[in-house]
Structure 1
Amino acid sequence: MNWKFILTYKPFLIILFLINLFGTIYGYYWYKYQLEITPPIFIPFVPDSPTASLFFTIFLLFFMFGKHVPYIEALAITSLIKYGIWAVVMNILTLIITGSLNWQGYMLIASHGAMAIQGVLYAPYYQIQLKHLAVAAIVLLHNEIIDYVYGMMPIYPVINDYMKEIGYFTFWLSIFTILFTYHITIKKKQNNSIHK
C-alpha cells in the first residue's frame, strides 16, 4: 500500500480535514464546563487537545492548496504528539486506579492516540526549521507552567492525588516531544540532503 499516495490524496485530505474540524469543535465543547470556571486570562491555555487539532486542521487546509505555514506545522506536530500521548496515559492511569473506564474514556484513548499518529505521519511534509520548533517548544513549556503552577490542567478528579507526579511526567513528555519532533523533521531532512 502506497501510504505517501494516500496521505496526499485530495479526497482523503478532505475527509481528514473534516474529521479534525468536527473533532476540534467537539473538543472545545467538551471543555465547556471547565472553561466556565476558568479565569479569562487562562482560557487560551486550557483546551489543549482541541487547540492541537485546530493547528493540524489549519495545516491540512493550507496543505490541500499546496501552501505551508511552518509555525502552525511546528505547533501542530508538537501539540498533537504531546497531548495525544498525555490523554492516552491519563485515561490508562484512571483505568488502573479505578479498575474501570467509561466509553468516553476509551473514546478519548482512541481519538488522542490517532491525534499523535497523524501528527507523525505527516512529518515528511512539514517545512519546519529550528526557529519554528523553538517557538513551538516555548509554547509547550509555557503551557506546562500555566497547567501545573496555576492549576489549569484538564480536570480529572480521579487522578488529582497524583498531580505532582503527573506534572513531572508531563514536563519530560514535552522534552521528549521537542527532541522527537526535531529528529523526524529537521534532522531527518538534513540527513537526507547530505546523502543525496
Structure 2
Amino acid sequence: MFRSATEQPRAPGRNVHVLVPTRPRAAAGRDDAWRETLPRSQSKAAVRWRRLVERHTSRTDSRGTTRIATVLRLSFVSPDKTMVLSPDLPTRDPLPTYLAPIPRVIEDLGLRFAWLVVAINLAGTAFGFWYYSPQLADTAVVMWPWVPDSPLATLFIALAIAAWKLGYEQPWLTSLAFFGNVILGLWTPFTLLAFADAYAYLHPLMYQFLFWSHLAMVVQAYVLHRITDFPVWGVAVAFVWYTSNLIVDYFIPIVGEPHHTFIPVARDEPMFLEADALGVIAAGEVTFTLLALFLALATRVKKCELARGRPG
C-alpha cells in the first residue's frame, strides 16, 4: 500500500508527487520500493529526501503495520531546488489525566516553539549555575555534578528537546529531563514553603521567581510524553542518577559534607513531626523521586496498553 503526498513546489509548472509506502512489519527494510515522480533535474533532491525518510522513526500500529510516524511536507528552495523535510507535531496518546494533565493546546504550543523552550531552559541553566556558584566554590570539584540540581534539570530538558527536534530523540536523556524537572520542580517550592520565614532575606520578586519558575519545570516535564515512550532502560538510567543524587545529598556525601542545596537554617534545626530540617528536605526529595519513577513507568504501561489495543 502507498500513501500519497503532493505539494506544489515554488518553481512554477513543476508538480511533485511522492508515494510513501505503508508496509507490513515483516517486510520493513531499506530494500522496499520507493517511488517518486520528479523531474530528472531534481533527482539528487529526491535521493536526499529518501534518505531522510529512511532514517526517520517508524511506529507500529495495532494492525501490525509499520507507518512513517510523521506527516511529510516537501518544498523546493530556489535556486538549488533543495528538498526539505518538515515533521508534524507528534501525536498525543489518550493518557489518563494524572499522566497528561496539561491541555493539548498548551502542549502543542510548547512543541511548536520548541527552540524557544530550549533557549529559555539554557538561560535558566546559566542563571542556575550563577546562583549555585557560592556552593560550588565550597565543594570539591569531583562532586560538582551532584550540586547544581535545578540547572542540570533544565540543561537535561534543553538537550532532550533539541535532540528530538534534530530527529535524534534519546530516551535516556528525555527520562533524565523528566525526572529532574519533576523532582526539582516540586522540591524547590516545597522547600521555599517549608522554610518561608527563613527565606525572608530573599527579595520578594526573587522568591516568587524561584517558586513559579520551578513549578513551570513540572509543566514542561508533563509534555515529554509526546516525544518519548519512556522505555524501561531509559527510566532506569534516570532513576540510578537521581538515586545517587539522593545518597550524596543526604546520606553518604562521599567527599565533604552532604551536597544538598543550601538551606537557610541549620540541618539539625527542629521542624515538625519530630523531624529536623535535613529530614524534611530529604523526605521531600525522596517522595518526589518516587513520584517521578511512578509517573514515567505508568506512562510506559499505558502507552503499551494503547499500542496493543487494550485501554486500561
Alignment of structure 1 residues 26-175 onto 2, 5 Å: 26-95=127-196, 97-98=197-198, 100=200, 102-149=204-251, 150=253, 151-158=258-265, 160=267, 161=269, 162-175=277-290
The Cα of 1:25 is off from its aligned counterpart by 0.9
Separation in structure 2 between the aligned mates of residue 56 and residue 110 of structure 1, nearest angstrom:
17
| Cα offset, 1:99, TM superposition | 8.6
Contact 1:76–1:119 (8 Å) recurs in 2: yes
Give the C-alpha shift of residue 159 in structure 1.
Answer: 6.5
Out of 115, 121, 126, the residue aligned to residue 14 of structure 1 is 115
Structure that is richer in strand per residue: 2
| Inter-CA distance 167–99: structure 2 relative to 1 (3 Å threshold) | closer
1:3-47 residue CA offsets vs partner (Å, 9 max, x unmatched): 4532331xx112111101111111111100100000122111000
Identity %: 23
Q: CA deviation at 1:172?
A: 2.2
Q: Compared with structure 1, are the counterparts of its residues 22 and 45 closer, same or farther at alpha carbon in structure 2 (3 Å cutoff)?
A: same
Are 1:85 and 1:113, in contact at CA under 8 Å, matched by a contact in 2? yes
Please state how far the C-alpha of 1:126 moved relative to its aligned partner. 1.6
Q: Contact (CA 8 Å) 1:55, 1:72: kept in 2 or not?
A: yes
Tell me how far 1:103 sits from its aligned partner.
2.2
* Structure 1 equivalent of residue 105 of structure 2: 2
The 2-side partners of 1:152 and 1:98 are apart by 20
AA aligned opposite 1:106: Q
CA distance in 2, matches of 1:165, 1:121: 29
1:179 to 271, 287, 294: 294
TM-score by length of 1: 0.90
Structure 2 CA distance for aligned equivalents of residues 23 and 53 of structure 1: 7
Q: Which has the larger radius of gyration?
A: 2
Match of 1:157, SS state, is coil
| CA root-mean-square deviation | 1.9
Larger helix fraction of residues: 1
The 2-side partners of 1:82 and 1:99 are apart by 20
**Alpha-carbon displacement from aligned partner over 1:109-153 (angstroms, at most 9, x marks no partner):** 111000111011222212420011011111111100110022110
Instruction: Flag structure 2 segments of 5+ consecutive residues without an equivalent.
Output: 1-103, 270-276
Gapped regions of structure 1 (runs ≥ 5): none
Detail structure 1 runs of 4+ shifted over 4 Å in the superposition: 98-101
